[in-house]
Amino acid sequence: MGEARAVPKWPPRKPLLRVKAQHHTVAQLLTQGRKVVEISRQTGYSPTYVSRIRKDPVMHELLVCYAQQREGAFAHTLRREMEIVAGLDELRERLAHHRARKR
């Protein structure tokens, strides 16, 4: 018996040669966890094309980039919220101290 050979996919898949604005939109939506069908509706690309390009190495780089941006934005927002809470706690303490002195 002979060895099983991998059957080549036809037609061969071409890598992304140019990244257009719509590709950036696809990458952003994918990092937001949107479904392929929703991305297809928003961008005008077919669901098959969206599924195919999300496996492309160039698109993978975009996905990593946008995921890092989302993580950075989340971390920034979290830090800012913590600063606000700390400020509110300090304000509450000052107000309590002020009220205590008035009595």
Compute the C-alpha angle 33/58/50, nearest 5°: 45
Q: Which domain holds residue 78?
A: 21-102
Q: Is residue 1 part of a domain?
A: no
Q: Is residue 8 part of a domain?
A: no
Residue 20 Rama label (left phi>0; alpha psi -120 to 50; beta): beta
Counting the structural domains of the chain, the total is 1
Judged against a pLDDT cut of 80, whether residue 13 lies above it is answered with no
Tens of pLDDT, residues 19-60: 777 888 889 999 999 999 999 999 999 999 898 888 888 888
The whole-angstrom separation of Cα 77 and Cα 31 is: 18
Q: Is residue 31 part of a domain?
A: yes
Q: Is residue 52 part of a domain?
A: yes
Judged against a pLDDT cut of 70, whether residue 90 lies above it is answered with yes
Q: Is residue 9 part of a domain?
A: no
